[in-house]
């Protein structure tokens, strides 16, 4: 498509509807009806910070957020709850799979809606905000489960909450003696950095260790405003982790991954997980086979700083947990491979 209107000439507002996308030159007018059909199932939001980064409707930024009619094509291996969250929810807003940690999902709103999202059946602009009573029940569940040492705030995106609401949650978690660590998973610092105000940062002050995992899939998402935002977060004593999904057309090359992970380290962020794509409905166009993912990571081993090497993980469909996917370098009881692929036999391993 060659009719993309230059971003500078576009109004700085959230694009939500098929009409918005067509007006911005991000979708052809001929797709209007098909995109209306997609909109019946899946939310769309393209915030100004992301729109600024789009150079072409097929570029690695654009394809993460622009809906396409292919989203209604579901392949046999895809499922609506790919990682089994629903079965692991003791009360609304809590997901508990591992003994020592639990997810708290206070809302299902995101700053943008990733077309490959594993929760795509659930997230959306008017969904899932826990009301006062439901939030209190979720907090009470955490209060009465002393084995929970780490609470992971996710959603949706916890930084889409008002400072008042987030502060209320942070205060409640900070008051739980058994909780040592509060982790927030968010895309806001890259998707809507202007939301990270001093007032919002104030709410993250806690005597507990607060960690933040930021979801970023392409080096270009680390724009100047995003990097400035991340710096402010680190200044508050919050260590940053980078979280990415391996995506066809976005980061499925050694060069793209190298630029992404190096960009994260330069932005004071430790690449944490590179996720294998979860089989959510209508996401087949983003799938990269695991052998290819292993090859890509192996290509970076030894070439880039160890700080820039994330764990490649699969969330086993059905709710069985996350496992590392390699690549591995042990080739037998006494054999190891080096980054160049040469094997070495050792007396002891
Ligand atoms: C991914 C996930 C976590 C966090 O796992 P880590 O490996 O600690 O990052 C916790 N609970 C659930 C239900 C999860 O899906
Ligand atoms: S920000 Fe996270 S939860 Fe929201 S749409 Fe993207 S992947 Fe899904």
Give 172-208 pLDDT, tens digit per residue. 999 999 999 999 999 999 999 999 999 999 999 999 9
According to the model, what pLDDT value does residue 9 have?
52
According to the model, what pLDDT value does residue 1 have?
44
176: nearest Cα among 239, 97, 105, 101: 101
- Tokens of residue 259, six digits: 């630029």
- Tokens of residue 32, six digits: 């209007």
Ligand 2 proximity of 81 Cβ (cutoff 6 Å):
no
Mutate to test the pocket of ligand 2, among 123, 125, 188 (most ligand atoms within 8 A of CB): 123
Q: What is the dihedral of CA 19, 24, 28, 30, to 10 degrees?
A: 20
What's the pLDDT tens digit per position in 82-116?
Answer: 877 888 999 999 999 999 999 999 999 999 999 99
**Which helix (H) or strand (E) is 256 found in, with range?**
helix 254-266
pLDDT band at 11 (very low <50, low <70, confident <90, very high): low
What's the pLDDT tens digit per position in 37-89?
Answer: 999 999 999 999 999 999 999 999 999 999 999 999 999 989 878 877 888 99
Query: Of 1-5, 128-132, 313-317, where does mean pLDDT reach its minimum?
Result: 1-5
| d(CA 262, ligand 1 centre) in Å | 24
Which atom of ligand 2 is nearest the CA belonging to 116? 7
The yes-or-no answer on residue 285 being catalytic is no
Which atom of ligand 1 is nearest the CA belonging to 97? 13
Backbone angles phi, psi at 255, to 5 degrees: -65, -45
The yes-or-no answer on residue 126 being catalytic is no
81: nearest Cα among 228, 278, 218: 278
Structural domains for the chain: 7-72 (no CATH), 86-344 (3.20.20.70)
- Tokens of residue 1, six digits: 């498509």
The yes-or-no answer on residue 229 being catalytic is no
**How many other C-beta atoms lie within 10 A of the C-beta of residue 29?**
10
Q: Name residue 337's beta-bridge partners.
A: 343
User: Is residue 146's pLDDT more than 60?
Assistant: yes
User: Is residue 6's pLDDT more than 80?
Assistant: no
User: Is residue 292's pLDDT more than 60?
Assistant: yes
According to the model, what pLDDT value does residue 5 have?
52
**Which helix (H) or strand (E) is 142 found in, with range?**
helix 132-143
- Tokens of residue 230, six digits: 């991340």
pLDDT band at 2 (very low <50, low <70, confident <90, very high): very low
pLDDT band at 4 (very low <50, low <70, confident <90, very high): low
| Catalytic position from the list 105, 115, 119, 187 | 119
The yes-or-no answer on residue 98 being catalytic is yes
């Amino acid at each position: 498509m060659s009719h993309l209107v230059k971003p500078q000439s576009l109004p700085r507002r959230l694009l939500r509807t098929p009409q918005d996308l067509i007006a911005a030159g991000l979708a052809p007018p001929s797709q209007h009806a098909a995109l209306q059909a997609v909109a019946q199932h899946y939310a769309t939001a393209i915030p100004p910070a992301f729109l600024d980064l789009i150079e072409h409707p097929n570029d690695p930024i654009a394809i993460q957020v622009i809906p396409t009619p292919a989203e209604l094509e579901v392949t046999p291996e895809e499922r609506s709850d790919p990682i089994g969250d629903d079965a692991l929810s003791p009360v609304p807003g809590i997901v508990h799979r591992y003994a020592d940690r639990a997810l708290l999902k206070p809302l299902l709103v995101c700053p943008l809606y990733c077309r490959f999202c594993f929760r795509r059946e659930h997230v959306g602009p008017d969904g899932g905000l826990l009301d006062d009573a439901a939030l209190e029940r979720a907090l009470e569940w955490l209060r009465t489960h002393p084995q929970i040492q780490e609470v992971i705030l996710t959603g949706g995106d916890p930084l889409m909450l008002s400072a008042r609401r987030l502060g209320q949650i942070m205060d409640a978690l900070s008051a739980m003696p058994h909780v040592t660590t509060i982790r927030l998973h968010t895309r806001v610092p890259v998707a809507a950095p202007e939301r990270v105000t001093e007032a919002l940062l104030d709410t993250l002050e806690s005597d507990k260790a607060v960690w933040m995992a930021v979801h970023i899939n392409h080096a270009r998402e680390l724009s100047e405003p995003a990097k400035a935002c991340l710096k402010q977060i680190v200044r508050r004593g919050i260590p940053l982790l980078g979280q990415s999904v391996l995506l066809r057309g976005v980061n499925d090359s050694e060069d793209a991954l190298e630029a992404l992970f190096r960009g994260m380290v330069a932005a004071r962020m430790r690449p944490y997980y590179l996720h294998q794509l979860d089989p959510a409905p209508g996401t087949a166009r983003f799938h990269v086979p695991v052998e290819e993912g292993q090859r890509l990571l192996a290509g970076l081993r030894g070439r880039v700083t160890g700080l820039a090497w994330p764990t490649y993980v699969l969330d086993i469909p059905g709710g069985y947990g996350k496992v590392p996917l390699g690549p591995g370098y042990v080739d037998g009881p006494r054999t190891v491979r080096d980054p160049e692929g040469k094997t070495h036999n050792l007396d002891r391993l």
